Structure 1
C-alpha cells in the first residue's frame, strides 16, 4: 500500500516534470496541456488516476490541504500557467472576481 507521503511526492514529481521555473517572477510555468484557449481557458491540466484535473488545485491540495467545494484557488501572480504553491491562495468566488476585475482595471490603466 502506498503511504500518503509517497503519493504526494509522486504527484509532485509528475507535476515538476512539466514545469519550468521563471527565475525572475518565481512562477512555476506549466508546460503541459491546458484547458484550451476559450473563456476560462489556459489553466494547466493533467491526468491523475484516470481523471483530468486542474494542476494548480492538485498542487495547492498537496501542499496546503483540502479545498472546500465552494472555494477557488487564485493565482496571486496573475499567471494561469503558474503552479507555484507560494503564488496560490484559496478564496471565495466573490473575492476572486473582485481581484480579477481590479487586475483588469490595472492592466488597462
Structure 2
C-alpha cells in the first residue's frame, strides 16, 4: 500500500499513546466506537488503515480483531487478522456468551449426545425430554 507522507502525518497527528500501551484514535468515531479516517477518496476504519500502512494488506475474507478490546485503538500489534466467526466468538456479545456456555441452565452438559439444534440454537435433550414427559403427565391427569 503506497501512502503519501502527508496522509501518514495527518493520520498520526490524530493518535495518542495511553498508559495501557494502546494507540488511541482521537478524531471521529463511528457509532460503534471505531475510529474513522478519510483517505484515498473514502472514509474507512482507522485501525484498518494503520494495519495496512504498517503491516500490509488484510487477507481476503478476514477481519481485524482488537486483542486489547479497545475499539478505537489503532496499534497494529493489538490487531489480529481472523475470520469474522472467530472475531465474533472472541467478542463480548450474546453470541460469544452463548458459545462459551458448556452447560444448560439446569446444569446438564452440552455434549453431542445431549444437545439438539432448534431454530439454530442449542437445546438440552435432557431438559426437552423432561418437559415433554411433564406435559404428557399433566394432560393425562387433566
Q: Residues 8 and 62 of structure 1 are in contact (CA less than 8 Å); yes or no, is this contact kept in structure 2? A: no
Q: Distance in 2 between matches of 1:100 and 1:65?
A: 24
Give, in whole Å, the separation in 2 of the partners of 1:49 and 1:77. Answer: 28
- Aligned twin of 2:52: 61
State the partner residue of 1:29. 24
Query: Given that residues 63 and 83 in structure 2 are in contact (C-alpha distance below 8 angstroms), is that contact kept between their aligned partners in structure 1?
Result: yes
Kindly report the root-mean-square deviation, in angstroms, between the aligned alpha carbons of the 2 structures.
1.9
Q: TM-score, normalised by structure 2?
A: 0.60
Within 5 Å, which residues of 2 pair with 1:95-106?
95-101=86-92
Paired residue secondary structure (2:85): helix
Residue of structure 2 in register with 1:81 after alignment: 72
Aligned partner (choices 6, 12, 16) of residue 20 of structure 1: 16
- List structure 1 segments (4+ residues) > 6 angstroms apart after TM superposition: none
User: Closer, same or farther in 2 for the Cα pair 1:90/1:10, shift >3 Å?
Assistant: farther
2:16 aligns to what SS in structure 1?
Answer: strand
Structure whose CA Rg is larger? 2
Instruction: Using structure 1 for the length normalisation, give the TM-score.
Output: 0.76
Q: How many residues are paired up?
A: 94
Gaps in structure 2 of 5+ consecutive residues:
98-142
**1:87/1:47 CA distance change after superposition, 3 Å:** same
Q: Distance in 1 between matches of 2:4 and 2:85?
A: 30
Quick one: distance in 2 between partners of 1:8 and 1:98? Answer: 36
